[in-house]
Amino acid sequence: MEKQDFTNFVIKLARFYDKKDFLMKSTDNHERIKAWFWKVKDIPGGQALRDIYSRITDEYEYFPKNLPKAMKTHWGAWKNENQDKVIKQRQSVSGCENCVSGWINFAHKDEKTGVVYEFTCLCGHCRQIQHDKVPMKTVGQIEAEGGKVLMRGNSKPSVIFDNIDQMVHGIGEEVRTGKSETADDQIPF
């Protein structure tokens, strides 16, 4: 699920349980929601999240003290009852049209200097790869931040890593790839 979906989920629960302290904007609430999100981010939004909300409000008399645990418990029950939907989700991951093998390559132009920087992040659409040190974004988030996606779907990446740890350890290091498939004149700025 997206972080905004989770934030809305928590707000909806807070309203249901009349937990006004969760409805106020504060650093503590922001950090709490952020920490909880990292524990449940693999739970999909949509129907599964709506069902988890219903199960929690039906079962708990008060706002759950350990919300991530309650969500994971009900997510497990939902998966067992809806195996046909979970299988469809897994099958659709391999053909994600927004990334290349779980990675999105994008560019961002520094308006002050005019320099275009290339970045790579994990795909927030299919979530094929999970790693806490690498940002995960959707195409919409990249574009909302002023970035331009460079590779999608069946594009061939110019750099391939043997595993995610190799990529993480190389962050900030110069990557020598030979001739880049994304020449300066092809960057969409």
SS3 category, 137 = strand
Residue with tokens 């931040």: 145
pLDDT at 108: 85
The answer to whether the beta carbons of residues 27 and 34 sit under 8 Å apart is no
Predicted local confidence at residue 61, as pLDDT: 93
For the cut 50, the answer to whether the pLDDT of residue 19 exceeds it is yes
Position 7 scores a pLDDT of 87
How many Å apart are CA 153 and CA 128, to the nearest integer? 14
pLDDT of residue 48: 86
Residue 27 to residues 6, 33, 76, 96, 140: CA-CA distances in angstroms? Answer: 17, 10, 31, 36, 26
178 or 110: which leads in pLDDT: 110
- Please provide the average confidence, as pLDDT, over all residues in the chain: 76
Whole-number percent of the chain with pLDDT over 70 = 73
pLDDT at 144 over 50: yes
Average pLDDT on 47-56 reads: 91
| Residue 46 banded pLDDT, cuts 50, 70, 90 | confident
What secondary structure letter does DSSP report for 100? B
pLDDT category at 156 given cuts 50, 70, 90 is very low
Question: 13-45 burial by CB neighbour count: b if 16+ within 10 A, else e?
Answer: bbeebeeeebeeeeeebeeebeebbeebbebbe
- pTM value is 0.49
Q: Is 111 exposed, middle or buried (0-12, 13-18, 19+ CB in 10 A)?
A: exposed
According to the model, what pLDDT value does residue 152 have?
61
Give domain limits for the chain: 3-91, 103-186
The pLDDT value recorded for residue 95 is 64
CA 132, 138, 139, 143 torsion-angle sign: negative
DSSP string over 156-183: PPS---SSHHHHHHTTTS----SS-SS-
Establish how many alpha carbons lie within 13 A of residue 36's alpha carbon, considering only the half-sphere containing its beta carbon: 22
